[in-house]
C-alpha cells in the first residue's frame, strides 16, 4: 500500500466520523465545528486527487466564509436544542437506511470508473503539460461558458434581491433611503451653532467667608 492510499483511507475515515458527529452532537456549536473538520478532510482528499483548485476553494469558501458565518449565527441565537431533537432517534433507522442506500448507489456508479483498465489519454502527461487551475479555467470558459454566465447572472439576481429585501421599509427596521444618503453633503451632516456661555461662578460657602473675615 502506497503512502497516498494510506492517507486517503485515513482522511476518509476521519471525514466519515466527523460527518456522523455533525448529526449526532447535542450541542449545535460542536456540530458546526465537526462540520468544519469534515470540510477540511474533504479538502485533503481533493488535494490527494491533485485537484488543488477545488481543495483551496473548499477551504476558503465553505470553511472560511460559510461555516464561520454559520457558527456565529448559531452562537448568537438562543436555540432550544431539546425541542429540535425530539423524535431524532425514532426516525434515525429510516434515515440510516436511506443514507446507506444512497451510499450503495454511489459506490455502484463509482466502481465502473475504477474498473477501467485502458484510457485514451495519459492523465499524468496531461497534468504535467498544464496546471490544474489552468485546465479547469479552459474547460469552464470554453465548454461550459454559457452555463457559467447563467450561474453568475442567477447569483447576481439573488444578491440584488437580498439587498432589496434588507432595505425595504418595515416597522421593525431602521430604514434609510440610499438616495438621500448618497445626496448628503458635509454641511447637512454637521451644523455649528453659536450659544451663550452658561457656566456659573463658583459658589463660596458662608462658613468659609466668615473664617476669612475673622482672620
The single residue listed with the C-alpha cell 492523465 is: 123
C-alpha cell at 3: 503512502
Each domain of the chain, given as residue ranges in start order, spans 1-86
C-alpha cell at 175: 430604514
CB neighbours (10 Å) of residue 156? 10
pLDDT band at 18 (very low <50, low <70, confident <90, very high): very high
Kindly report, residue by residue over 89-107, the tens digit of the pLDDT. 788 888 889 988 988 888 8
CATH of 1-86, one of 1.10.3720.10, 1.10.10.60, 1.20.120.1200, 1.10.357.10: 1.20.120.1200
What's the pTM value of the predicted model, to 2 decimals? Answer: 0.52
Q: At 144, phi and psi to the nearest 5? A: -115, 35
pLDDT, position 153: 94
Give yes or no for a contact between 32 and 70, defined as CB atoms under 8 angstroms apart. yes
pLDDT band at 201 (very low <50, low <70, confident <90, very high): low
The single residue listed with the C-alpha cell 449526532 is: 24
Q: Could you tell me how far CA 87 lies from the centroid of its own chain?
A: 29
Q: Could you tell me how far CA 190 lies from the centroid of its own chain?
A: 39
Kindly report, residue by residue over 131-187, the tens digit of the pLDDT. 777 777 888 888 888 988 999 999 899 888 877 777 666 666 666 777 777 887 777
Amino acid at each position: 500500500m502506497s503512502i497516498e492510499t494510506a492517507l486517503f483511507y485515513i482522511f476518509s475515515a476521519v471525514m466519515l466520523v466527523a460527518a456522523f458527529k455533525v448529526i449526532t452532537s447535542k450541542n449545535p456549536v460542536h456540530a458546526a465545528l465537526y462540520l468544519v473538520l469534515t470540510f477540511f478532510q474533504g479538502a485533503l482528499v481533493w488535494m490527494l486527487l491533485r485537484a488543488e483548485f477545488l481543495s483551496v476553494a473548499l477551504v476558503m469558501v465553505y470553511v472560511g466564509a460559510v461555516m464561520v458565518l454559520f457558527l456565529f449565527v448559531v452562537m448568537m441565537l438562543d436555540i432550544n436544542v431539546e425541542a429540535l431533537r425530539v423524535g431524532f432517534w425514532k426516525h434515525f433507522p429510516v434515515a440510516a437506511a436511506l443514507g446507506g442506500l444512497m451510499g450503495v448507489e454511489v459506490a455502484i456508479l463509482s466502481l465502473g470508473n475504477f474498473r477501467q483498465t485502458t484510457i485514451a489519454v495519459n492523465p499524468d502527461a496531461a497534468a504535467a503539460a498544464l496546471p490544474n487551475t489552468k485546465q479547469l479555467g479552459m474547460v469552464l470558459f470554453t465548454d461550459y461558458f454559457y452555463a457559467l454566465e447563467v450561474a453568475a447572472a442567477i447569483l447576481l439576481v439573488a444578491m440584488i434581491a437580498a439587498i432589496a429585501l434588507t432595505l425595504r421599509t418595515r416597522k421593525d427596521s431602521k430604514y434609510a433611503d440610499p438616495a438621500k444618503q448618497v445626496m448628503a453633503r458635509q454641511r447637512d451632516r454637521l451644523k455649528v451653532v453659536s450659544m451663550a456661555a452658561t457656566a456659573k461662578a463658583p459658589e463660596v460657602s458662608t462658613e468659609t467667608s466668615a473664617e476669612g473675615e475673622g482672620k
